Amino acid sequence: MPPRLRLSVSLLSHPLRHEVFIYPRRYATTAAAAVTTSTISQTSQSKPTSSQPPSSPAAAYSSPQPPSHRRPEFRKSQLHRQYTSVLRTTPLILIFQHNNLRSVEWAGIRRELTKALQKVDEANAAAGRTEPPLASLIQLKIIQTGIFEAALRVVDFFRPGETTPRGAGKIAAAKADPNLAHDLSRTAYAAVLDKKGKHDLSSILIGPIAVLTFPHVSPEHLKAALSILAPKPPQFPAPGRRANPGLYELPVQEGLKKLILLAARVEGKVFDQDQTRWVGGIEGGMTGLRSQLVSLLQGAGASITTTLDAAGKSLYLTLESRRSVLEEEQKGPESDVKSDSEGKTDAPKE
């Protein structure tokens, strides 16, 4: 490769040297003039609009994203939004502790879990139920415990316009805009700051945690999930080797040994393991639960009717017996007088 030729500006002729130095100046002057013109035009356009008050709190800010305590472009903020959405839209969440599961083990567990849930959907469809399939909507995912705990506090404790900050939250609330009450706002942060570590699930949200989310409370799907992830015979036995040979593969079994069921969140309430298994043990699912409720209400109505009827009968019998006693007491002296008079009339005849 031939060497590069380095030319000095001093070697150029005078006209070329003049063009080299003049053209950049001309372009820079033109660009500066354009920037100045655009700035003046923007200022002139913004002056009449700045005097008008904004129609909404978000309109007072130039960015479409309203200000928040946590910057929205960070991954932590996105996870916080995702967790609050999951907590508000999923009525049933199982919480597991996992200990260093490999990707192969996670893949095998998710595969077998999906198979078990699909069998429940097929059984419901064969029985003629109109319930939508849930196998594709039930997800097993790993969470970041600190952000999940903060999202729990916002969902359960923060009520815009009703929650009053206390303790350290008062200092943070002094800088907050009360008109901004979204999940990432400083108002929400200040309202739940004193609740840190006081949630019922705070004690177990330590270390590696995974959650299994259900879009609906379905005892059949819950039972199928527990039979795979946390089997406990005789009520929640694991599928047999012939029926489900993939469950007994070595990576799947090694992964299941590292999963521990801690608790569940059902309709906003914390359930322990026994209560969670009770929900999964409801016969017939939600339809069976409704039938049990109807039979219970019918039985309660019948028992109430019998009780009220028995009370009325006992009261009637008591009053009747008392009336008969009073009648006998009233008839007693008259019968004695009649018997004496009859005895006197019979004596002269003799």
CATH superfamily for 75-289 is Ribosomal protein L10, N-terminal RNA-binding domain (3.30.70.1730)
Judged by average pLDDT, the poorest of 44-58, 137-151, 289-303, 332-346 is: 44-58
More confident residue, 274 or 35: 274
DSSP class of 268: T
Q: How confident is the model at residue 25 (pLDDT cuts 50, 70, 90)?
A: very low
Determine which helix (DSSP H) or strand (DSSP E) holds 16, and give its type and residue range. helix 14-50
pLDDT(321) > 60: yes
Strand arrangement of the beta sheet that strand 92-98 belongs to? 139-143, 209-214, 92-98, 259-266, 269-271
Q: Which of 2-11, 24-33, 234-243 is predicted most confidently?
A: 234-243
Q: CB neighbours of 102 closer than 8 A, spacing ≥ 6? A: 251, 255
pLDDT at 169: 59
More confident residue, 192 or 266: 266
- Tell me phi and psi for residue 327, to 5 degrees: -65, -40
How confident is the model over 236-262, as pLDDT tens digits? 999 999 989 999 999 999 999 999 999
pTM here is 0.65
Percent of the chain scoring above 90 in pLDDT: 39
pLDDT at 167: 60
- Tell me phi and psi for residue 265, to 5 degrees: -120, 110
pLDDT(288) > 60: yes
pLDDT at 307: 77
Count each helix (H run) and each strand (E run) in the chain, helices first.
Answer: 10, 5
- For 189, the 3-state DSSP assignment is helix
More confident residue, 94 or 304: 94
pLDDT(225) > 60: yes
pLDDT at 250: 95
pLDDT at 73: 75
Mean pLDDT, residues 105-123: 95
Mean pLDDT, residues 77-91: 92
Ramachandran region, residue 285 (left: φ > 0; alpha: ψ -120 to 50; beta: rest):
left
Q: How confident is the model at residue 72 (pLDDT cuts 50, 70, 90)?
A: confident
